[in-house]
Amino acid sequence: MIEFEFNEPDFLGEDLRLVRQQVRRFVNEVIVPNGDEWEASGEIPRSVFRQLGEMGFLGMRHPVEYGGGGMGALASVVLGEELARSSYGGVASALTVHSDMSIGHIAHRGTHEQKQKYLPDACAGIRVGAVCVTEPHAGSDVAGLKTRAVKTAEGWTLNGSKTFITNGVFGDIYIVAARTDPQAKGSRGISLFIVEKGNPGLKVARKFEKHGWRSSDTAELFLDDLKLPADALLGEEGKGFYYIMSTFQNERLVVGALVSGTSSKAIELTVDYLRNRQAFGKSLWDQPVVRNKIAWVAAKAAAVRALTYQCAQMIDEGKDTVREVSMLKAFGAETLQEVVHTCLQLHGGTGYIIGTPVERMARDSRILTIGGGATEVMLEEVAKRM
């Protein structure tokens, strides 16, 4: 099979080109041969986290002094693209939630003691991270969360529930958002806490069976009189909403990378199929109406990738990216739906069979218009800045 991929940006340094090569080799040698087994079991072996951690790919954005690589946003894009090219969205989601969406809170806002305690093991893949924001009645509306944290003589007591938590069963380090000031309105009065696996007050209520991302565990959690020491508070009290919004920008960047990687793999598989599938005396690729369809979605996918790299550069330059990253999340996730469903259609009946990569990618991609900020919410963020 001839690999289909977009041209490498000229500004991507040799270090990141090497990262791409090494992650792609890992994907082809470890993830692809075992992905079906992980889909069936509903989880990824801890050894996968440790292997990537040993290679230095789970802490690329984190400080060098705590075991990280000290790199920028472009590193997250390269990692996300290559993991998504595996065609196993659940694997890509579990790994990037750990590397880019949970532990990053500690890297950016933790005290020296918190970083020293958690980051080395997280970067090494020894301990797995999860971020616990979404609640049964508060998803994209983060300001509406109801989990409470009450200050006590010993520290804090948390009560509430969290849902749709990636790595919720498998995780070791949970970043939990809770309301510390019940009198504060909306986004005010929310704080973040570090909760460790094994805390008696943290209970896994259920593990979800999902439409897609089947190889990542997703759980509903109960916080039942969960006791925490005072130093479990992450960052400043009452600033949690702003920390979450800041991390959302990176999460949405990673979604752009997942879209780019998934799109390129889906197009690659489809072009290969069309060149080899014979119908009406010639290959499907020789039918202009067919190849024009795949060319059209390839053009849209290339536009998403260009915006992804632009956003990464803006983040690395310290620019405000809320508008552009919101555009990326909305346009990218919706474009991916067109890409994967066009590819499924062009595979004919084969594309509808469970176990074929294009069928799996079509299922896995559906969540990206919802998770991390629904398309409708993202478009409002763009509109407010026009």
DSSP string, 116-144: HHHHHHHHTTSS-EEEE--BTTBSS-GGG
Residue 147 token pair: 């989990």
The DSSP 8-state label assigned to residue 353 in this structure reads: S
Q: What pLDDT shows up at residue 169?
A: 94
The reply to whether 14-128 and 130-238 are identical in fold is no
Domain boundaries, the chain: 14-128, 130-238, 241-384
Question: Which architecture does CATH list for 130-238?
Answer: Beta Barrel (2.40)
Closest CA to 185 of 149, 143, 146: 143
Calpha distance 298→310 (Å, rounded): 18
Question: What is the pLDDT at residue 167?
Answer: 96
**Residue 251 among the catalytic residues:** yes
Residues of the chain with pLDDT below 50 are none
* Measured distance CA(259)–CA(263) in Å, rounded: 6
Burial class (CB in 10 A: 0-12, 13-18, 19+), 113: exposed
Q: CATH assignment of 14-128?
A: 1.10.540.10
Q: How many CB atoms lie within 10 A of CB 290?
A: 18
CA 4 to chain centre: 23
Distance CA 165, CA 174 (A): 10
pLDDT at 267: 97
* pLDDT computed for residue 188 by the predictor: 85
Pick from 65, 220, 54: which is nearest to 135 by CA? 220
Q: Six-digit token pair at 172?
A: 């070791």
Tokens of 261: 């990687």
Task: Kindly give, in sequence order, each residue whose CB lies less than 8 Å from that of residue 350, ignoring residues fewer than 6 positions away.
Answer: 273, 356, 358
The number of beta carbons lying within 10 Å of the beta carbon of residue 273 is 21
As to burial, measured by CB atoms within 10 angstroms (0-12 exposed, 13-18 middle, 19+ buried), residue 3 is exposed
In the CATH hierarchy, which top-level class contains the domain 241-384? mainly alpha
Residues 6+ apart with CB under 8 A from 141: none
The reported pLDDT for the residue numbered 55 is 96
What's residue 9's pLDDT? 84
Say whether pTM exceeds 0.85.
Answer: yes
- What was the pLDDT predicted at 184? 83
CA count, 13 A, side-chain hemisphere, 360: 23
Catalytic residue selected from 39, 81, 82, 251: 251
- Bridging pattern class, strands 233-234 and 202-207: unpaired
What does DSSP assign to residue 224? E
Per-residue buried b or exposed e for 207-243, using 16+ beta carbons within 10 Å of the residue's own CB: ebebebbbbbbbbbbebeebebeeebbbbebbbbbeb
Q: What is the pLDDT of residues 162-205, one digit of tens each?
A: 999 999 999 999 999 999 998 887 778 999 999 999 999 999 99
Q: Which of 331, 359, 330 is nearest to 344 (CA)?
A: 359
Q: Phi/psi zone of residue 160: left (φ > 0), alpha (ψ -120 to 50 degrees), beta?
A: left
Helices (H) then strands (E): counts for the chain: 12, 10
Q: Are 149 and 195 in contact (CB under 8 A)?
A: no
**d(C-alpha 126, C-alpha 5), whole Å:** 32
Q: For position 129, what pLDDT does the model report?
A: 97
